[in-house]
Chains A and B, each alone.
Chain A
Amino acid sequence: MEKTIDWIEKDFGKLDILVNNAGIAIRGHVLDTNESDWDKVNDINSKGYFLGTKFAGKLMQKNNFGSIINIASIYAIVGGTLSFGYAASKGAVRLMSKAAAIQLAPYKIRVNTICPGFAATPINKHYRLTPNAPEVVSIRESIPLKGFIPADQIAWGVVYLASDESEWVTGTDLLIDAGWIAQ
């Protein structure tokens, strides 16, 4: 991370926007989660975002300007039966974003999360490949708008939070979940 930020500073002179998006999904009930599963998912999803926010924050601080967007999940807000370490890592993302928002506010650096619901992205390619599988049908039926969210919708939310249209938005979560959490 430090290396990438150094390179950005040398080649572009500044950084205005960071999207912490890299993530992995590990499934597993709390009783079946072993230490290495926990470490892996928390290193990438949670520690990865910390490092990104820290090093990008240092560069943005020089300009007194910036917007950091952390992709969390609906599983940062509620629990589910199938994953545990993942939920912990995404919950960490959500609260670390609020803490970073408060701590970086003096430098006019904004930090927000996007919490996507069930989206038809490569991580969930089975939604598209086996639309009639019982598991996929039951997830779809649980979504108020009755469909999987196109990745482009997440992109528009990121654009909004990255742009000056949201200059006064910080420390909050933008849910793009087709109404799933509201029920």
Chain B
Amino acid sequence: MTNRLEGKVALITGSGGALFDSESGLGFGGSSAFRFCQEEATVIVSDINDDIGRQFTEELKEKGLNAHYQHLDVSKESEWKKIINWIEKDFGRLDILVNNAGVTSSPDIFNTNESDWNKANNINSKGCFLGTKHAGILMKKNNSGSIINISSAYGIVASKASFAYHASKGSVIAMSKAAAIQLAPHKVRVNTVCPGWSDTHFTMPLFDNPERVKTIINTVPLGDWIPSDQIAWGVVYLASDESEWVTGTELVIDAGWTAQ
């Protein structure tokens, strides 16, 4: 099957942070953009990292794929209004939104200051809200759409650190359910993907500490880092009509980590 998303227009946030041959490989956004294109969607790559984002989009085009680049800082409502207007003018519709942009925040509760809190929550949580709202407004006109929010295993279970990150990712899960119920009358579906430990640019800093890497992987039932392409396939499933009756739920792609 290579046409599971034929005719669909998709916007993926935070999908321009890495190139095919980057040291960390593609992130979830970039991998999803690649698989979406292969499944014949029209893909709008967006990021705040415009240089790499444009270059990555060129790499997709060189493979003969239908990709476009557009700057988008997900934490700013004015930018959401702009990009959704542009999509409506240029493509006439939006079928799929992947809210993938995210940042980490490692301090525990006592060391989390207001600016740590604001950064994690403005990008991870408010970014999802703004995207869901403005994409929802456009999707509603077509009475169809699929929104996929990237949360985390850290949105389900907690740890000794990453306080603001846990809060932001937990909010993504609950807000997706609320949006699913509120957008169901318009046949717009909203689901969450909760990835476990994956070796993308996001987790690269951990690799400076081999002991830490070993301790983490020892806790993963399937025993290794999850390739970002696995997240992409989950996103493809939720974006496609194969999941037309799936809404308000979480797809956990975590190698068994939260089942124990």
Please report A residues at the B interface, Cβ cutoff 8 Å: 98, 101-102, 105-106, 108, 110, 117, 144-147, 149-150, 153, 156-157, 159-160, 165-183
Is B221 within 8 A of A171, CB to CB? yes
Is residue B87 within 8 Å, beta carbon to beta carbon, of the partner chain?
Answer: no
Residues of chain B within 8 A (CB-CB) of A165 are 230, 233-234, 236-237
Distance A156 CA – B181 CA, assembled complex (angstroms):
23
Is A182 within 8 A of B221, CB to CB? no
Residues of chain B within 8 A (CB-CB) of A176 are 243, 245-246
Q: Which residue of B lies closest to A161 (CB)?
A: B237
Is A178 within 8 A of B247, CB to CB? yes
Residues of chain A within 8 A (CB-CB) of B244 are 153
Closest CB of chain A to B181's CB: distance in Å? 5
Closest CB of chain A to B66's CB: distance in Å? 22
Distance A154 CA – B111 CA, assembled complex (angstroms):
46
Is A182 within 8 A of B249, CB to CB? yes
Closest CB of chain B to A134's CB: distance in Å? 22
Closest CB of chain B to A24's CB: distance in Å? 23
8 closest A-B pairs by beta carbon, nearest first, are A171-B259, A182-B248, A165-B233, A144-B184, A156-B242, A105-B221, A182-B177, A175-B249
- Residue in A101, A153, A166 whose CB lies within 8 Å of B221: A101
Is B243 within 8 A of A156, CB to CB? yes
Among B205-241, those with CB < 8 Å from A are 221-223, 226-227, 230, 233-234, 236-237
Distance A145 CA – B184 CA, assembled complex (angstroms):
5
- Residue in B184, B226, B245 whose CB lies within 8 Å of A149: B245
Is residue B115 within 8 Å, beta carbon to beta carbon, of the partner chain?
Answer: no
Distance A51 CA – B116 CA, assembled complex (angstroms):
50
Is B230 within 8 A of A145, CB to CB? no
Is A179 within 8 A of B247, CB to CB? yes
Q: Which residue of B lies closest to A116 (CB)?
A: B245
- Residue in A102, A145, A150, A169 whose CB lies within 8 Å of B234: A169
Distance A102 CA – B234 CA, assembled complex (angstroms):
21
The CB with the most chain A CB atoms within 10 A, among B196, B236, B245, is that of B245
Residues of chain A within 8 A (CB-CB) of B196 are 168
Is B184 within 8 A of A146, CB to CB? yes
Among B75-113, those with CB < 8 Å from A are none
Is A172 within 8 A of B259, CB to CB? yes
Is A172 within 8 A of B254, CB to CB? yes
Q: Which residue of B lies closest to A147 (CB)?
A: B245
Q: Which residue of A lies closest to B241 (CB)?
A: A156
Is A145 within 8 A of B254, CB to CB? no
Residues of chain A within 8 A (CB-CB) of B226 are 168
Is B245 within 8 A of A160, CB to CB? no
- Residue in B180, B223, B227, B251 whose CB lies within 8 Å of A174: B251
Known contacts A105-B222, A153-B242, A172-B252; decide if A179 and B181 are in contact (CB<8 Å).
yes
Is B233 within 8 A of A178, CB to CB? no
Distance A159 CA – B1 CA, assembled complex (angstroms):
12
Q: Which residue of A lies closest to B182 (CB)?
A: A144
Closest CB of chain B to A87's CB: distance in Å? 19
Q: Which residue of B lies closest to A180 (CB)?
A: B248
Residue contacts A-B, CB under 8 angstroms, 26 given: A101-B221, A102-B256, A105-B223, A117-B245, A144-B180, A146-B185, A153-B242, A153-B246, A160-B234, A160-B242, A165-B237, A167-B230, A168-B222, A168-B226, A171-B254, A171-B260, A172-B252, A172-B256, A177-B246, A178-B245, A178-B247, A179-B181, A179-B248, A180-B248, A181-B249, A182-B249
